[in-house]
Structure 1
Amino acid sequence: MADIRGFRGFRYDLGSVGTLSDVVAPPYDVIDTALQQKLYDASPYNAIRLELTRDEPGDDDQHNKYTRAGNTLREWVAANVIRQDTARGLYVYEQEYTVEGATFTRRGLMARVRLEAFGKGKVFPHEQTMSGPKEDRLKLYRATGFNLSPVFGLYPDEGEVFALLEPLIRSAPPLVAKDHLGVTNRLWSVTDSATVSKVIGLMGPKPVYIADGHHRYETGVKYLEERRALGEVADDEAAPNFCLMMLVGMSDPGLLILPTHRLVSGLAANVTAPQLEAALGGHFDIVERTGTDARAAWEHIEMDGAQTTLGFGTVADGQWLVAKLRDTTVMAELAPEQSDDWRGLGVSVLHKLVLDRLLRERIGGEPACKYVHLLSEVTDATAKRECQLACLVPPATMEHVERIAGNGEKMPPKSTYFYPKLLTGLVFNSLKKD
């Protein structure tokens, strides 16, 4: 069972900092230099000064962006800029957002979740991680002693959890923050002990699948191991045993997985549509040629609904085509150690078969990818000739995440993109105290 707990979160005192919109920030992994500066300028209390502090001249092992973040957080807590809530509870988090002209609302609850090594309990990863981000986050955990941003977790449900929470959150006004992408973020604190106990009871038997924040979760496990080795974890109820997690039901109507399209460079030559067709011909049927119309290619993929239907735009001649894998047995040869579910993913077919085999053999070079999510980002990049080949990939589904993660596998990198990202700065979780 996943061990879910209410907790006493740390939150901004809006009387001290002003508007909540001015002090929240996206998670570290989607912040570039320009956005970092914009957030610095938004408020002297913006969470960017904790989540992704700037490097400064003269930084060394004793004085650096991590120690600055730790010092800043301690100063804010001492000055009551950030205060710990007096009552233990759960935090309902709602995000209203628009994608491709359609508006969605996604809801979940923030809680403490007991950390456990992957494969040893009921918390399952679905994507591979890299060492660099984990080392970065570990340094920040050591310096601050806080979870600054939540891990994003998913659980199977039929709406029973929010049936309990709905009456409470609709009778109280939320805190509201609008982020830099125009997403409206709403937060409620739920401290009614009977409701919190019922929610925890419902959540207990459920598995949790990590949607986003794998690096932060694994960093939490590592931090817990370090604290134990130092004798700083008194018992199984001590704060470092848990991490801050946002939990969203898999049936939530606002839970959207965006596709992650690939912009490919590094080929030995600028490939044209006829050359691409020749390269794909042994394994794919060309089911539609849409000329210069990328949207028509994408609409075909959406209507088809199959993971094995991919779209390709050849920048050299501005042409688009849709190709469907003829026989999936080739994937068993290319990825024999993986399950049929894994081998059937569009991203698996694209990388294992198209990029790593067919294009290397027929075109040459070392294909390298840039990742985007919106069709407009693809068409902008091709118009500016920022890549040689654009690849449209159908999004993985919640069923893929549940089956593959539940099987103990990890999906290929950049298989899923759960939009929008969860904000940093709504609730902080101490790893030092309850």
Structure 2
Amino acid sequence: MTKIIPFKAVRPTRDKVSLVAARSYQSYTKEQLESRLRDNPFSFLQIVNPGYRFDKDISGEARYSLVKNRFLEFKEDGIFIQDEKPSYYIYKIVDREEQEFNGIVAASSALDYENDIIKKHEDTIAYKEILFKDYLKTVGFNAEPVLLTYPDNAVIDSIIKKTQKERAEFEFTTTYRDTHYLWKVDNPKIIANIQKEFENIPTIYIADGHHRSASSYLLYKDLKDANPEHQGDEAYNFFMSYLIPESDLQIHAFNRLVKDLNGLSKEEFLIQLDTFYRIENRGKMPYQPSKKHHFSMYLDGDFYSLYLRKTSYKIETSLDGLDSQILYKTILNPILGIEDLRNDQRIIYVNGKKDLVNIKSSVDSGESKVGFVMLPVLMNEMKQIADDGLKMPPKSTYIEPKLRSGVTIYEF
């Protein structure tokens, strides 16, 4: 039984939401960040980058305290208001390719996370979990939902579609030409129907936001232990999430570039590859892999197809059959000497939405020596790995939709 509840969101006013909404802080270049902080006093970036006001880089607890101050100022100035009733928030995104994503912003249970009702497929890094947990504890809010996915549900889908016939509370288009819509659902009967349907769903999956959900869970444990009157319904027992049906989720590959051949010549490298793969030179034209366990490689001006030799690689678990794991076990680790996929500076990850020209350009320029292209992970692969309690290699998936920060904010 999945516990998904409504909450009283802190939100920008209708006239300011397009100015407030921001991409994830890490997604901006230094120049883009400077431009937005200089030209837009309402951007959520003003809150999460409080040192800009003092023309100084500030980190740690000092930064966290200033983030909280900026947030309170936005509330005091009426840029943010809080809803009076607990609500679900139906959220729709139409991107520049006219892909449509429909889901519900709500509060998900940290206890469900603990009990593996909310399932994970990706490893997290402990110090990052603790760092963000400490940030959340100081600032007292979360502004970027974790992306969760659930099996398609006819009742929830019907509620979403019916609500979307009404005028949206928010409707704004970003400079990326994505259009965002938000509807507030505070009718008790509809809330009860939504909550009941989620209670009938035995398992949901984290699609994007493993570190954020892990940090929220650590925060829940800290605050629970510090509260002798803990009841289980306090705000810290939940974390903000955006729940979308599995059919709406878009999973793209994360391709790999490696900066050197680990001391091997091109010929030596190809000979070692021959142990695990049947290799065909495809020439100068960009070449995409055609099926699972089949990779495209760009090396020294040519594209190659790599077909896995099934007699040389054993698939014993759901993880063993994942293309990113196969690439690691057969090439990246044994031949190119890459052990730590998260921290090795020799590997570069390129999301699969970008054209193969990006792979080619990096190798042709000398920035990288070789590039590898894969097909995207399938939804059933991701779920099976999570169900088996296994974890994918980092950057195995690039998942959409990507949400904006500051549109709905969860306080605890």
Alignment of 1:33-52 (within 5 A): 33-52=30-49
Match of 1:430 in 2: 411
* 1:379 corresponds to which of 355, 360, 384: 360
CA distance in 2, matches of 1:167, 1:58: 47
Normalising by structure 1, we get a TM-score of 0.86
Match of 1:226 in 2: 222
1:71-104 alpha-carbon deviations (Å, 9 max, x no partner): 1111222232211012221111111124xxx531
Change (3 A) 1:108 1:52: farther
Figure out how many residues of one structure are paired with residues of the other and give that number. Answer: 401
Q: Is the 8 A contact 1:8 1:85 kept in 2?
A: yes
Match of 2:211 in 1: 215
How far residue 220 of structure 1 moved from its aligned partner, in angstroms, is 0.7
Secondary structure of the corresponding residue to residue 212 of structure 2: helix
Q: Is the 8 A contact 1:25 1:39 kept in 2?
A: no
* 2:393 corresponds to which of 408, 412, 429: 412
1:6-64 alpha-carbon deviations (Å, 9 max, x no partner): 1111101245xx3x2221111244344333323323421211133454476484766x2
Secondary structure of the corresponding residue to residue 257 of structure 2: strand
CA distance in 2, matches of 1:268, 1:340: 29
Match of 1:368 in 2: 346
CA distance in 2, matches of 1:360, 1:8: 50
Alignment of 1:103-252 (within 5 A): 103-116=98-111, 118=113, 120-206=115-201, 207-231=203-227, 234-252=230-248
Q: Quick one: which amino acid aligns to residue 282 of structure 1?
A: T
Secondary structure of the corresponding residue to residue 25 of structure 1: coil
How far residue 108 of structure 1 moved from its aligned partner, in angstroms, is 1.0
Q: Quick one: which amino acid aligns to residue 111 of structure 2?
A: E
Change (3 A) 1:305 1:159: farther
1:132-155 alpha-carbon deviations (Å, 9 max, x no partner): 432332232122111111011011
CA distance in 1, matches of 2:114, 2:133: 21
Quote the RMSD (CA, aligned, Å). 2.4
Secondary structure of the corresponding residue to residue 171 of structure 2: strand
1:126-177 alpha-carbon deviations (Å, 9 max, x no partner): 1111134323322321221111110110111244311122112222235123
Match of 1:336 in 2: none
How far residue 261 of structure 1 moved from its aligned partner, in angstroms, is 0.5
Q: Is the 8 A contact 2:257 2:372 kept in 1?
A: yes
* 1:264 corresponds to which of 253, 258, 278: 258
Unmatched runs of 5 consecutive residues or more in structure 2: 339-343
1:378-432 alpha-carbon deviations (Å, 9 max, x no partner): 233233222000110211111111111111111111111112411101100111x
Match of 1:335 in 2: none
Q: Quick one: which amino acid aligns to residue 239 of structure 1?
A: A
CA distance in 2, matches of 1:159, 1:384: 51
Q: Is the 8 A contact 1:95 1:186 kept in 2?
A: yes
Secondary structure of the corresponding residue to residue 218 of structure 2: helix
Change (3 A) 1:38 1:176: farther
Q: Is the 8 A contact 2:14 2:169 kept in 1?
A: no
Match of 2:65 in 1: 67
CA distance in 1, matches of 2:29, 2:92: 25
CA distance in 2, matches of 1:259, 1:403: 18
Percent identity of equivalent pairs: 22
Match of 1:9 in 2: 9
Q: Is the 8 A contact 2:95 2:178 kept in 1?
A: yes
Match of 1:324 in 2: 307
Match of 2:272 in 1: 279
